[in-house]
């Protein structure tokens, strides 16, 4: 029997990579659900190739256009439609929706008992406590797709998390690693999107350039692996070959290495606990010239410091951090603020916001909405 999967965010970077994995394994997977935001053309091509039984389009206008093109196919519309699509019973739901919009679909998928392949770190940053509590209640495994967390998950197989001394989460350093800070004031979105080793979506690529992405991954790792902030460290590793390392109490360190191709962690998450033969390119160890590591420069990357501070504060602080960052990155991509102002916006909003205990989804969503309003007002004051 083929494994039935749902892909949320099918037209994004993760979704396209996942469908390429499916393409390489005919008969192994059945794409039951495809969900996208507004890219009707790309979604139409995916539907023609993979023949899902159900489609969701979260943008209402795009959903209407898609329905006009595909009158015989069930189409769910709006954010609620995305939640319904996530709840459709399948073997695995790949959560690849970018940003805070992925939180409710993730919870809906868990509530339906679907196994989760998680590629949406923002949900864990905002509401990791709620997500992990819900997953434990429903006995739902969460398989991380981010290459760093997937690497840690693999290194922990057969080991006890109580024996972990610390996690080392690697970072390439992004598009501007090694450049003096004063040279970054007028960089363009196009320049920030030139990641040296990974081909990813715009938001995560900008976050990699500020190193905010690594801060978000630290917070996600705290929840996924049940470890305190003191046991999670960041290492700059420009080659992006070692995806992360786990150091144990006896001094042993296990690392997971591989080529920079998101199809590998996606394949692992979709087929775990099995391993299948892969047709993708393999890492040529003999061809590696060097593997280097360095501690991050927190003056060069203040967004990383802001993320770690939010992790220390706890409560809704990470949700506030995430929302402020999403708004700032979006503004930078539109050209309305400068690159170095991203950190300025995040710091200003984070410092000016009260932090509450995360007791419900409503508390998290209220903090998210309030923060976005504050970020918009803050950025108005910059111009």
Q: What pLDDT is attached to residue 246?
A: 98
All structural domains of the chain, each given as residue ranges with its CATH number in brackets, are 3-144 (3.40.50.720), 314-383 (1.10.1740.10)
**196: pLDDT strictly greater than 80:** no
pLDDT in tens, 226-239: 999 999 999 999 99
Residue 333 has pLDDT above 90, yes or no: yes
> What 8-state DSSP symbol labels residue 73?
S
Taking the C-alpha atoms of residue 30 and residue 53, their distance in angstroms, rounded to an integer, is 10
| pLDDT per residue as tens digits for the range 348-371 | 999 999 999 999 999 999 999 999
Strand bridging mode 142-144 / 115-118: parallel
**For a pLDDT cut of 90, what percent of the chain falls above it?**
86
**Average of pLDDT values for 113-138?**
97
- What is the Cα–Cα distance from 59 to 77, expressed in whole angstroms? 7
pLDDT at 244: 98
Tokens of 121: 């770190």
Return mean pLDDT, the chain.
95
Q: Quick one: tokens of 353?
A: 């916001």
Confidence of residue 264 (pLDDT cuts 50, 70, 90): very high
Answer whether 313's CB lies under 8 Å from 319's CB.
Answer: no
More confident residue, 187 or 199: 187
Flag whether pLDDT at 383 surpasses 80.
Answer: no
pLDDT at 202 over 90: no
- Residues ≥6 apart with Cβ < 8 Å to 60: 77, 78
Asked whether residue 338 carries a pLDDT value surpassing 80, the answer given is yes
* pTM of the complete model: 0.94
Peptide bond before 335: cis, by omega within 30 degrees of 0? no
What does the pLDDT read at residue 197? 76
Minimum mean pLDDT range among 51-60, 74-83, 150-159, 199-208? 199-208
The per-residue pLDDT for 146 is 94
Range of weakest confidence among 111-115, 199-203, 373-377: 199-203
DSSP letters, 229-265, are GGGEEEEE-TT--EEEEEEETTS-EEEEE--S-THHH
- Looking at residue 81, its pLDDT comes to 94
Q: Which tens digit of pLDDT belongs to each residue from 266-288?
A: 999 999 999 998 888 899 999 99
**CA–CA gap between residue 176 and residue 164 (Å, rounded):** 32
Q: What is the pLDDT of residues 166-183, one digit of tens each?
A: 999 999 998 888 888 888
Per-residue pLDDT tens for 29-80?
999 999 999 999 999 999 999 999 999 999 999 999 999 999 989 999 988 9
- The pLDDT score that the predictor gives to residue 192 is 87
User: How much of the chain, in percent, has pLDDT values that exceed 70?
Assistant: 100
């Amino acid at each position: 029997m083929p494994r039935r999967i749902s892909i949320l965010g099918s037209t994004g970077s993760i979704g396209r990579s996942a469908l390429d994995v499916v393409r390489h394994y005919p008969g192994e997977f059945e794409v039951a659900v495809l969900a996208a935001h507004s890219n009707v053309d790309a979604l139409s091509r995916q539907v023609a190739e993979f023949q899902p039984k159900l489609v969701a389009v979260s943008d209402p206008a795009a959903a209407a256009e898609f329905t006009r093109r595909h009158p015989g196919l069930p189409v769910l519309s709006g954010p609620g439609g995305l939640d319904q699509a996530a709840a459709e019973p399948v073997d695995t739901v790949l959560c690849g929706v970018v940003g805070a919009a992925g939180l409710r679909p993730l919870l809906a998928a868990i509530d339906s008992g679907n196994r989760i392949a998680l590629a949406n770190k923002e949900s864990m940053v905002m509401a990791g406590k709620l997500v992990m509590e819900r997953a434990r209640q429903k006995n739902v495994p969460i398989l991380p797709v981010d290459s760093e967390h997937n690497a840690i998950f693999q290194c922990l197989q057969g080991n006890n998390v109580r024996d972990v001394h610390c996690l080392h989460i690697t970072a390439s350093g992004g598009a501007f690693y090694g450049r003096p800070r004063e040279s970054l004031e007028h960089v363009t979105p196009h320049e920030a999107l030139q990641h040296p080793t990974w081909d990813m979506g715009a938001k995560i690529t900008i976050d990699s350039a500020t190193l905010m992405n690594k801060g978000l991954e630290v917070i996600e790792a705290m929840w996924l692996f049940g470890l305190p902030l003191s046991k999670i460290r960041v290492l700059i590793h420009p080659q992006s070959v070692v995806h992360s390392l786990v150091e144990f109490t006896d001094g042993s360190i296990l690392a997971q290495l591989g080529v920079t191709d998101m199809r590998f962690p996606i394949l692992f998450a979709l087929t775990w606990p099995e391993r299948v033969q892969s047709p993708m390119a393999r890492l040529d160890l003999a061809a590696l010239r060097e593997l280097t590591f360095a501690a991050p420069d927190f003056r060069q990357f203040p967004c990383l410091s802001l993320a770690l501070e939010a992790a220390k504060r706890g409560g809704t602080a990470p949700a506030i951090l995430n929302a402020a960052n999403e708004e700032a990155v979006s503004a930078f991509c539109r050209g309305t603020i400068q690159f170095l102002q991203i950190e300025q916006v995040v710091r200003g909003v984070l410092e000016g916001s009260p932090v509450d205990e995360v007791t419900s989804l409503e508390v998290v969503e209220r903090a998210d909405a309030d923060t976005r309003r504050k970020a918009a007002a803050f950025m108005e004051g910059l111009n």
